[in-house]
Amino acid sequence: MKQIHGHEVMKMMIESEKSYSKDELKKAIINKFGEDARFHTCSVNNMDADEIIVFLEKKDKFTHSKDGVSLDASKMCSHE
């Protein structure tokens, strides 16, 4: 099964220029990458949509507002 780097989720969020509720973000991830997509980072492999959301939040990648979460390009590291 193909592993998609977490940066792809982050890029999707940045390009959308919107805030998401956690449910909206999960739906957007599934719509873009597929129901069975699995994600990886430099430290974790084989995450589903829910797990990549939790991972990114724990890594302080999200900006929180009353509208939900968004991602600022400055929060994205430059390695793949």
The pLDDT tens digits for 4-31 are 999 999 999 999 999 999 999 999 999 9
User: Using 50, 70 and 90 to split pLDDT, how confident is the model at 72?
Assistant: confident
- Specify if 38 maps to a domain: yes
The SS3 of residue 70 is strand
Q: Is the pLDDT of residue 41 over 60?
A: yes
- Specify if 79 maps to a domain: no
CA–CA separation, 40 vs 24, rounded Å?
A: 21
Q: Please, are residues 40 and 3 in contact by the beta-carbon 8 Å criterion?
A: yes
Domains identified in the chain, total number: 1
Domain that holds residue 19: 3-70
- Specify if 9 maps to a domain: yes
pTM here?
0.90
- Specify if 44 maps to a domain: yes
CA–CA separation, 20 vs 13, rounded Å?
A: 9
- Specify if 80 maps to a domain: no
